A = this chain, B = another copy of it.
Amino acid sequence: MTRRISDIDVSSAALSHRNESLPQLHSVGQPKKESILKEVGHTIKETFFPDDPLRSFKDQPASKRFLLGLQALFPIFDWGRQYNLSKFKSDLIAGMTIASLCIPQDIAYAKLANLPPQYGLYSSFVPPLIYAFMGSSRDIAIGPVAVVSLLLGSLLQEEFDPENDAHNYLRLAFTATFFAGITQATLGFFRLGFLVDFLSHAATVGFMAGAAITIGLQQLKGLLGIKKFTKNTDIVSVMHSVFGQVHHGVCPTAHYVGMTLLLQGKKNKKLFWIPAIGPLTSVILATLIVYITRADKKGVQIVKHIEKGINPPSLHQIFFAGPHVIKGFRIGAIAGIIGLTEAVAIGRTFAALKDYPLDGNKEMLSLGTMNIVGSMTSCYVATGSFSRSAVNYMAGCQTAVSNIVMSMIVLLTLEFITPLFKYLPNAILAAIIIAAVVNLVDFEAMILIWKIDKFDFIACMGAFFGVVFISVEIGLLIAVCISFAKILLQVTRPRVALLGNLPGTTIYRNVQQYPAATRVPGVLTVRVDSSIYFSNSNYVKDRILRWLADEEEANSKSNLPRIQYLIIDMSPVIDIDTSGIHALEDLVKSLQKRDVQLLLANPGPVVVTKLYDSRFAQVVGQDKIFLTVADAVRACTRKSQEEA
A58 contacts the other chain (CB 8 A): no
Interface size on A, residues (CB 8 A): 102
Out of B30, B31, B348, B448, name the residue touching A538 (CB < 8 Å): B348
Q: How far apart are the CA atoms of A47 and B486 in the complex, in Å? A: 12
Out of B198, B497, B535, B543, name the residue touching A535 (CB < 8 Å): B198
A375 contacts the other chain (CB 8 A): no
Given contacts A197-B539, A492-B197, A535-B197, are A352 and B589 in contact (CB under 8 A)?
yes
Asked whether B502 lies within 8 Å of A355 as measured between CB atoms, the reply is: no
Asked whether A26 lies within 8 Å of B507 as measured between CB atoms, the reply is: yes
A495 contacts the other chain (CB 8 A): yes
Contacts of A582 in B (CB 8 A): 201
A7 contacts the other chain (CB 8 A): no
Q: For residue A46, give the distance in angstroms from its CB to the closest CB of chain B.
A: 5
Mark the stretch among A242-250, A303-311, A526-534 that contacts chain B. A526-534
Out of B516, B542, B610, name the residue touching A452 (CB < 8 Å): B610
Q: How far apart are the CA atoms of A38 and B538 in the complex, in Å? A: 25
Q: For residue A291, give the distance in angstroms from its CB to the closest CB of chain B.
A: 48
Asked whether B487 lies within 8 Å of A574 as measured between CB atoms, the reply is: no
Asked whether A577 lies within 8 Å of B529 as measured between CB atoms, the reply is: no
A271 contacts the other chain (CB 8 A): no
A640 contacts the other chain (CB 8 A): no
Asked whether B572 lies within 8 Å of A571 as measured between CB atoms, the reply is: yes
Per-residue CB contact flags for chain A residues 483-514 toward chain B (1 = under 8 Å, else 0) read 11011111111110100001111110110111
Contacts of A507 in B (CB 8 A): 17, 26, 627-628
Closest residue to A516 on the B side, CB-wise? B26
A451 contacts the other chain (CB 8 A): yes
Q: Which of A447-492 contact B (CB under 8 A)?
A: 448-449, 451-456, 483-484, 486-492
Per-residue CB contact flags for chain A residues 528-572 toward chain B (1 = under 8 Å, else 0) read 011101111111001100100000000000000000000000011
Asked whether B572 lies within 8 Å of A505 as measured between CB atoms, the reply is: no
Asked whether A495 lies within 8 Å of B352 as measured between CB atoms, the reply is: no
Out of B505, B512, B608, name the residue touching A17 (CB < 8 Å): B505
Out of B29, B46, B503, B546, name the residue touching A515 (CB < 8 Å): B29
Q: How far apart are the CA atoms of A21 and B285 in the complex, in Å? A: 81
Asked whether A360 lies within 8 Å of B538 as measured between CB atoms, the reply is: yes
Given contacts A546-B52, A574-B490, are A537 and B197 in contact (CB under 8 A)?
yes
> Can you add 9 more A-B contacts, CB < 8 Å, to A194-B538, A197-B538, A507-B628?
A29-B513, A29-B515, A50-B546, A201-B579, A202-B577, A355-B589, A453-B578, A510-B604, A572-B572
A-B contact pairs, 9 of them (CB 8 A): A18-B504, A26-B514, A29-B513, A46-B493, A197-B538, A353-B589, A452-B614, A483-B535, A490-B531
Binding site for B on A (CB under 8 A): 17-19, 21-22, 24, 26, 29-31, 36, 39-40, 43, 46-47, 50-52, 194, 197-203, 348, 352-353, 355, 360, 445, 448-449, 451-456, 483-484, 486-495, 497, 502-507, 509-510, 512-516, 529-531, 533-539, 542-543, 546, 571-572, 574-575, 577-579, 581-582, 586, 589-590, 593-594, 604-605, 608, 610, 613-614, 627-628
